[in-house]
Amino acid sequence: MTMQKWNYEKRAYEPYTVPSSWHTPIYSFDMGEIVNCPSCGRRMLYGDGYTSKTIHNAYGLGYSVCPSCYDKEIREERAHAKDSD
């Protein structure tokens, strides 16, 4: 599966892959579908995830990540926003 992850240091996307055994759809009509967080692999309900700020498809759409990984993304984004001031 083709994914890309935003690198705040380089200010550019880098190729990103997950194990082929992980189920990481970009979208699901079933909010109760069991998926893997593309960041940590944790199994979760699709509807319990948040749109990733860093892991996207080729069109820039974010994958659904678990709440813990989303919190890490928020902290990383804020840390780099302070650096650019």
Question: Could you read off the pLDDT of 7-59 as tens digits, one per residue?
Answer: 999 999 999 999 999 999 999 999 999 999 999 999 999 999 999 999 999 99
- Mind listing the pLDDT tens digit for each residue in 49-74? 999 999 999 999 999 999 999 999 99
CA distances to 40, 57, 65, 80 from 2, rounded to whole Å, are 17, 7, 16, 25
- Rounded to the nearest 10°, the torsion over CA 46, 28, 11, 15 is 100
Q: How far apart are CA 47 and CA 29, in angstroms?
A: 9
Domain assignments of the chain as residue spans, ordered by start: 3-83
How much is the pTM? 0.91
Distance, CA of 17 to CA of 77 (rounded, Å): 21
Instruction: Tell me the pLDDT band of 81, cut-offs 50, 70 and 90.
Output: confident
3-state secondary structure of 67: helix
